[in-house]
Amino acid sequence: MSTSLPDRQYVGEDWYVQPPTGGLQLRVSDCNHCGKRWFPPRFACSSCASHDLTQNRTGNTGIAYASSHVHVGSGAWPKSYVLSYIDIDRVRVLMHTDSDRSLDPDTPVRLVLGRIGTADDVELWSYRAQPDLITQESQR
């Protein structure tokens, strides 16, 4: 009897980086004309249309801005999951969240790579938010 790993597809893999030091960082674009920061990265500013952008990365920690528990997933998504807007280094990004309930505002999180869904027996993986329990505990 043999076991095989499920097929895995990475979603938006041009939008994040796994640095050798560990963790996960998002790729962002900083407009050198108006100062806005964008995720996902882009080659023209969506605010002032300048093409003078610098490509950067975020850190790998942020805080929850808002969060919601989705109880009726459909298609590739799980039947039940949590989505959160995460503020990380001047961008606000919607992402799947490793939690069985919505996060309180300002909950510290770290970015991780993990499964966000399954389509046709292929696991879909991308960036996720994981509540940072160590940071939470030290703030009490």
CB of 48 to Zn ion, least distance (A): 3
Question: Which 14-53 positions form the footprint of Zn ion (CB under 5 A)?
Answer: 31, 33-34, 45, 47-48, 50
In DSSP notation, 3-21 reads: --PPEEEESSGGGEE--TT
Count residues binding Zn ion (CB under 5 A).
7
- Taking the C-alpha atoms of residue 77 and residue 3, their distance in angstroms, rounded to an integer, is 25
CB of 93 to Zn ion, least distance (A): 19
| Pick 52 or 104: Cβ nearer Zn ion | 52
**Residue 54 DSSP label:** E
Strand pairing report for 122-131 and 7-10: parallel
Name 92's Cβ contacts closer than 8 Å, sequence gap at least 6. 65, 85, 86
CB of 89 to Zn ion, least distance (A): 17
| Pick 46 or 136: Cβ nearer Zn ion | 46
Binding site for Zn ion (CB under 5 A): 31, 33-34, 45, 47-48, 50
